[in-house]
Amino acid sequence: MSGSEATGERREVLLEFRRLGGAVKVTALDPVTQIEVSIQGPASAGEDELRRTAIAKLDYVIRRQRQG
């Protein structure tokens, strides 16, 4: 999976989708930085929306870590 539509960068992002009842837990991992984040959302949200949200959170955490 390539990610970061927000910055226009293309990079590998590993994603795991795990359904938990009516919710889905999505874990996103950047294999270069080894940073991992998770989000939860309704199963009705759809895979694309959950993917974009998880990658956006991963981008945010990576930016925060680089800032100090």
**Model's pTM, two decimal places?**
0.84
CA distance 11 to 20: 28
The whole-number pLDDT of residue 57 equals 98
User: Residues 11, 4: contact at Cβ < 8 Å?
Assistant: yes
**Torsion sign (Cα): 24, 2, 6, 57:** positive
Angle at 37 between CA 34 and CA 38, to 5 degrees: 145
Q: How many CB atoms lie within 10 A of CB 4?
A: 16
Quote the pLDDT of residue 44.
97
Query: What residues of the chain score a pLDDT lower than 70?
Result: 1-9
Whole-number pLDDT of residue 68: 77
